[in-house]
């Protein structure tokens, strides 16, 4: 039996291409005592992976060259030599870009059993996984929305942004998104229920973005959930109300280098803003609460999500390259079986 894997072949200096990755086929490993083998069904592709491809210092160690790309996965146990797991269990973990994961099941937190009967398994690496909890944490703990306020989120049709806006609506807020293209904006408003969505591709500069935002958020912006940076951040900063709060979750516009400076830092003072960067993996204490809340909303149909699926492990690099360009529409997944 073989195991197909995608490894990091070279470190990109700008935008990555499929040539920075390589497909490798190895023999599937046999589990030793305490280990289990997971047949992975879904791989999550996320913007943070671009940072791991760099050598430089960041909040996490770089992805080693020649090793399997890291990534969140969900799948089914097919062999177990650990008492807590049995074949047929469905588990979530960080199995990486490969078909099979050999895991030391005795390490706490490596694998988490999930119930595949009420929601599709893929949800556990999306709305009920890291992206969903990221949205929950940044919105609730940093933006701290109150009914009647206006919450803005960039990358609004994506895995994180779509949850931010829907949760903001559940808090009684006005939800305004930024997304790339008319189709995504239509989805954000008509399917997800945002009050407005600005197609950033239809605006050539910050001034034009500001004009659109003034129309979409006539009472100003109380909370901003940042996924992209660049011009959109500059535009939103000008519209923040006094004591506004900004959760900095991502700055995908700068992940390939050439991060744009922030034009008017004095607005942080003038509007007495709180700007806070966070990584949800450092706030594990909120996961149970967040997942319980998100799960109830998904099961009741109040929290909608959409997936872009790459059909096989071979397609993962192309899908990831597209994700960084906003080619995905909803949560980007790779189907592994």
Cβ-based nearer residue to its own copies, 84 or 243: 243
The reply to whether 87 sits near its own copies by the rule CB under 8 A is no
Distance CA 198, CA 206 (A): 13
Span near its own copies by CB under 8 A; candidates 32-40, 103-111, 213-221, 244-252 = 244-252
Among 86, 207, 211, 272, binds its own copies (CB under 8 A): 272
Q: How would you classify residue 144: left for phi > 0, otherwise alpha for psi between -120 and 50, otherwise beta?
A: left
274-291 core/surface letters (b: 16 or more CB in 10 A; e: else)? ebeeeebeebeeebeebb
Are 291 and 163 contacting, i.e. CB atoms less than 8 angstroms apart? no
Provide the minimum distance between the beta carbon of 152 and its own copies in the complex, in angstroms, as a whole number: 17
Binding-site string for its own copies from residue 201 to residue 240, where x marks contact by CB under 8 A and - marks none:
----------------------------x---x-------
The reply to whether 286 sits near its own copies by the rule CB under 8 A is no
Q: Looking only at residues 51 through 80 of this chain, which bind its own copies when binding is defined by CB under 8 A?
A: 58-59
Closest by CA position to 121, among listed 39, 37, 38, 41:
41
Among 91, 275, 291, 316, binds its own copies (CB under 8 A): 275
Beta carbons within 8 Å of 314's beta carbon, 6+ residues apart:
4, 23
Counting residues that bind its own copies (by CB under 8 A) gives 31
The reply to whether 273 sits near its own copies by the rule CB under 8 A is yes
* Residue 79: strand pairing partners: 37
Are 87 and 51 contacting, i.e. CB atoms less than 8 angstroms apart? no
Provide the minimum distance between the beta carbon of 261 and its own copies in the complex, in angstroms, as a whole number: 4
Cβ-based nearer residue to its own copies, 106 or 260: 260
Among 18, 82, 170, 278, binds its own copies (CB under 8 A): 278
Span near its own copies by CB under 8 A; candidates 5-13, 28-36, 117-125, 268-276 = 268-276
The reply to whether 254 sits near its own copies by the rule CB under 8 A is yes
Q: Greatest CA span in the chain, whole angstroms?
A: 63
Fill in the DSSP letter of residue 202: G
Among 126, 180, 250, 326, binds its own copies (CB under 8 A): 250
| Rg, Å, the chain Cα set | 20
Q: What sign has the CA pseudo-torsion 9, 10, 12, 17?
A: negative
- Binding residues for its own copies, per CB under 8 A? 58-59, 229, 233, 242, 248-251, 254, 259-266, 268-279, 282
């Amino acid at each position: 039996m073989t195991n197909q894997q995608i490894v990091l072949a070279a470190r990109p200096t700008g935008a990555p291409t499929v040539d920075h990755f390589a497909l490798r086929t190895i023999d599937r490993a046999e589990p030793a005592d305490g280990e289990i083998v997971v047949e992975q069904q879904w791989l999550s592709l996320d913007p943070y992976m671009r940072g791991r491809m760099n050598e430089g210092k960041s909040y996490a160690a770089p992805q080693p060259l020649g090793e399997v790309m890291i990534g969140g996965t969900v799948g089914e146990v097919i062999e177990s030599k650990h008492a807590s797991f049995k074949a047929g269990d469905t588990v979530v973990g960080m199995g990486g870009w490969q078909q099979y994961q050999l895991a030391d099941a005795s390490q706490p937190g490596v694998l988490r059993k999930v119930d595949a009967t009420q929601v599709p398994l893929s949800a556990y690496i999306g709305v009920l996984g890291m992206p969903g909890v990221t949205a929950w944490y940044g919105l609730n703990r940093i933006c701290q929305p109150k009914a009647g306020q206006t919450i803005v989120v960039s990358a609004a049709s994506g895995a994180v942004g779509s949850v931010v806006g829907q949760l903001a609506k559940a808090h009684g807020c006005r939800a305004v998104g930024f997304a790339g293209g008319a189709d995504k904006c239509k989805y954000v408003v008509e399917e997800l229920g945002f009050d407005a969505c600005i197609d950033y591709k239809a605006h050539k500069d910050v001034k034009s973005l500001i004009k659109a935002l003034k129309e979409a958020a006539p009472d100003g912006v109380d909370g901003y959930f940042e996924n992209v940076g660049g011009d959109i951040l500059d535009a939103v900063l000008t519209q923040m109300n006094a004591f506004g709060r900004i959760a900095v979750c991502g700055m995908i516009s700068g992940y390939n280098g050439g991060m744009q400076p922030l034009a008017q830092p004095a607005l942080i003072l003038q509007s007495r803003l709180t700007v806070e960067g966070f990584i949800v993996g450092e706030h594990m204490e909120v996961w149970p609460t967040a997942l319980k809340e998100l799960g109830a909303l998904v099961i009741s149909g109040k929290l909608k999500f959409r997936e872009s699926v790459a059909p096989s492990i071979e397609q993962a690099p192309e899908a990831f390259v597209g994700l960084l360009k906003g080619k995905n529409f909803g949560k980007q997944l790779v189907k592994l079986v």
